[in-house]
Structure 1
């Protein structure tokens, strides 16, 4: 499989380290507009696969239009969130111009590609990329990372192994993420049943705050999130490439009566060569209502991106 990664900055490089262990990648194309950055990163990955023994051909370019005939494209290019930013939507204008340029270059040259968008605000940027590129198969990474954080917090608060925890987050990546409590299972039991049997308690409001805001602390202390996003994106790409149909909380086009066109909204879905079915019908009425609210927020951000210079 030919995978292209557009953007080899902090997030792109860490994701590439995770991908250096993936035997399904036969050809890897790296692109970054920063002079010689993709070339330098390509050398690092070549050194890495000398250890991991994954036989892949690696190419590096400094122009988006150099990417042709890819089977899958991961777009990480863009300015990252900084500690002083209250919300990822503050990146809308500056990153929208990049996404438009990348979409115009990649869409026609990669007609069979599956596009996975990472650039923040990710759901609006995924929607914008699909609009501009005209590509059929586009998703954003949605709330898959929040779902990992959710399970991590459940494991910590309940003092159970992470392997015993299941649960998902939906909605918007960021402030309007929706913790889907109805999806939580602990040792195969519903959360309510587990808490009753174990006599444990759970601070749901505190957990909600932690899941949504933990990235701010990480950015303030270490300069940016790295490992968590990298393995999240790796998991999505792997499930697509191998047609694993793993349930992941990616964002796909979602229509509601309140908005005139679909936008990318995170909903737990089976992820493979195709996306779906989703778990939406299994959610509570309240949770589905929160997804619709998130869709309206994402639509507003998308409209701002669409009209930005």
Structure 2
């Protein structure tokens, strides 16, 4: 008789019950694991599945988490086989290569597109009803690639976009004003990165529009803070070699909104066709209402003429990259 049988009288065999809020993460590098830990600490899922092609790294990360499972409320599984992701409600893709120093951005993009051609079909096969959340950089283009490869409706393919940039913007603005950033409402839209658009025209604290207090000062302050937002990522990379916790917490906030159907607003990369006079399929960040089905709605955000022009430049930049991808496929 086994130790288990000596311990208890088993009345019936275990019934397999599918997880109701299963999340899968593809890629267990620093970013993937920061997402995993942030999600687990907030108890957002009853099952977390990890996938990576590096078997030893994957096993090590999974074991490390399992050893702490006494302190968690989620089942954890891991495998190099995508079958482990079956029936996920949400699939988070962090896999990809970093842009190396001296490397061309297009080289990074081409390598990541090749990786996605392997990943996305396997994820879709196992979880055809899932919402895809793309973290891989360059995030707007990679979200577009995931959308094309998956065949999913556009509301179920989302990129992390400027969600973290917006958090940094509010943090820096709150620090400047000596106000908790939770009470600061200011947003960054458009293409993620240096060409993003800080929407200063609607920035406010408790409904008090900052631009109306002092238009010239507000624009100068806003421009400086936006530059600091763009630099802050590079500062973290210079100091510790990579970014992880900020994006991990940002992903967890998006996951929370989707799985709990909160219908809260997040600055995520979405298909912006028919928004702000955009006539083409292009993914960039706009204020989106998130719920169980992914993007439930996009706010009709008023923009000043200069902000609208900068957003148009984001569209042009992304289209140029998309067209380059199409040419490389020919």
Alpha carbons 1:251, 1:265 under 8 Å: kept: yes
What is the distance in 1 between the residues matched to 2:107 and 2:191?
14
Q: Matches of 1:160 and 1:258 in 2, distance apart?
A: 35
Q: Deviation at 1:297? A: 1.3
Name 1:174's counterpart in structure 2: 193
Gaps of 5+ in 2: 1-20
Provide the residue aligned with 2:16 in structure 1: none
What TM-score results when the alignment is normalised by the length of structure 2? 0.84
Aligned to 1:165: 184
| 1:201 CA drift (Å) | 9.0
Aligned to 2:130: 113
| Residue in structure 2 matched with residue 36 of structure 1 by the alignment | 56
Q: How far off its partner does 1:22 sit? A: 3.1
CA distance in 1, matches of 2:68, 2:328: 40
How far, CA to CA, are the matches of 1:258 and 1:14 in structure 2? 37
Given the superposition, is the C-alpha separation of residues 187 and 306 from structure 1 closer, same or farther in structure 2, using an over 3 Å criterion? same
Greater C-alpha radius of gyration: 2
Q: Once structures 1 and 2 are overlaid, which stretch shifts more, 39-48 or 207-216?
A: 39-48
- Which of 21, 28, 50 matches 2:41? 21
For residue 245 of structure 2, the aligned residue among 218, 227, 236 is: 227
| Cα distance between partner residues in 2 of 1:200 and 1:286 | 15
Given candidates 119, 126, 138, the residue that maps to 2:157 is 138
Other-structure match for 2:290: 271
- Take 2:324 and 2:278, find their aligned partners in 1: how far apart are those partners? 14
* 2:78 counterpart residue number: 60
- Mapped partners of 2:220, 2:304: distance in 1: 20
**CA distance change for structure 1 residues 61 and 124 in 2, over 3 Å: closer, same or farther?**
same
What is the CA–CA distance in structure 1 between the aligned matches of 2:83 and 2:317, rounded to whole Å? 32
1:287 aligned to which of 298, 301, 307:
307
CA distance in 1, matches of 2:139, 2:218: 36
CA distance in 2, matches of 1:63, 1:286: 49
2:132 is equivalent to residue 91 of structure 1: no
* Per-residue Cα deviation, 1:174-212 (whole angstroms, up to 9, x for no partner): 12111011231113311124558xx99952332221111
The aligned residue for residue 144 of structure 2 is: 127
Q: How far does the alpha carbon of each residue in 1:226-276 deviate from its partner, in whole angstroms, 9 at most, with x for none?
A: 211111111011100101111110011112699874121100111112424
More off after superposition, 274-283 vs 238-247:
274-283
Given the superposition, is the C-alpha separation of residues 82 and 221 from structure 1 closer, same or farther in structure 2, using an over 3 Å criterion?
farther
Aligned CA-pair RMSD: 2.5
Higher alpha-carbon deviation: 155-164 or 28-37: 155-164
Aligned to 1:237: 255
Alignment check: 8 A CA contact 1:33 1:62 kept: yes
Aligned residues: 304
Rounded to whole Å, the distance in 1 between the matches of 2:182 and 2:65 is: 31
Q: Which runs of 5+ in 1 are unaligned?
A: none
Compare 102-111 and 138-147 and name the one that shifted more.
102-111
Gap change, CA 1:308 and 1:30, over 3 Å in 2: farther
SS at 1:267's partner residue? strand
Look up the match of 1:102. 119
Distance (whole Å) between structure 2 residues aligned to residue 303 and residue 120 of structure 1? 18
> Which residue in 1 is equivalent to 2:204?
185
Per-residue CA shift, 1:110-142, capped at 9, x if unaligned? Answer: 110000000000010000011011122111111
Contact 2:190 2:311 in 1 (8 A): yes
Partner of 2:95: 77
Q: 3-state DSSP class of the match of 2:41?
A: coil
